Amino acid sequence: MKILVVGGAGYIGSICAELLLDEGHAVAIFDNLTEGHRRAVDPRAQFIEGDLIDREKIAAALRDARPEAVMHFAANALVGESMENPSKYFRNNVGSGVNLLDAMIANNVRRLVFSSTCATFGPPDRVPIDETVPQCPINPYGESKLMFEKILRWYDQIHGLRFVSLRYFNAAGASENYGEDHRLETHLLPNVLKVALGQKPQVEIYGTDYETPDGTCIRDYIHILDLSRAHILALDARQSDFYNLGTGGGSSVREVIDACRKVTGKDIPVVEKPRRPGDPPRLIASSDKIKRELGWKPQFQDLVAIIGSAWKWHQKFPNGYGD
């Protein structure tokens, strides 16, 4: 199958493209490189530099690549920034996404896998979070993703665009060749590993008095390879649908730091700070539906294995992609 991976130079998109190529698919990557990296583009893939805000550019890319399906990873994804600049998130995550959908319809491409987020749910009324939990996002980032999910329903009904939307929390880990390198790093795991690499003096823990076993927040970490395989499985879904992805367990901030110490053999100093407003104590996703309906079987449930793959990549590429 020929797949256009939009946002394929980013963390998740690059590794999903790698797995698609490994499985014999033909891949074209469309990315503006503002968040992604040119060195993260697999050399086996066709690369098209462009921005979804340019309607003609994405239309031309679809005409040129002639894909049978699209995977959509391109988005701004910083919760804090979305609270400061909501316009950016609605323009890029919603408006530019509609440009992609319109270009797909114009070029008769009617199969889409959308990389969404569990941030569409907001603080849940129960965990683990399954697909029936009410969606009440508390920031423009989550709202923008939810808005696009609603738009997808209408494009399916009106244009016959078949989609699968995958929602998850914390992607982590690496493949042999590609890993996590954000220009502004806000995620816990890579920041802890930066301390182990000697690139940061300490890691901050925000809140130690939550109602959890060790007082720190619990989050759901999913290996990037398992996440990518879920996206590939979604290509064969028979109907449009929404699926949550996670381990069903979750790890606390302290557990992540302790596991990083175990994997790296490094002393990782911590500094305890007050809670951040709006951080729920536990966020864990249920994957029962995608396991049952699409046969997804995650291979990396162990936190040490997830961290080990990330540490191996960061040691190999201590400065990331270097651009």
Distance CA 314, CA 323 (A): 15
SS3 category, 299: coil
**HEC sequence for 139-201:** CHHHHHHHHHHHHHHHHHHHHCCEEEEEECCEEECCCCCCCCCCCCCCCHHHHHHHHHCCCCC
221 is annotated as an active-site residue: no
Assign 124 to helix, strand or coil. Answer: coil
As a dihedral over the C-alpha atoms of residue 45, residue 47, residue 51, residue 56, rounded to 10 degrees, the angle is -110
Q: How far apart are CA 90 and CA 101, in angstroms?
A: 15
CA atoms within 13 A on the CB side of 173: 24
Contact 10, 224 (CB under 8 A): no
Question: Of 11, 141, 168, 243, which is the active-site residue?
Answer: 141
Catalytic positions, please? Answer: 141
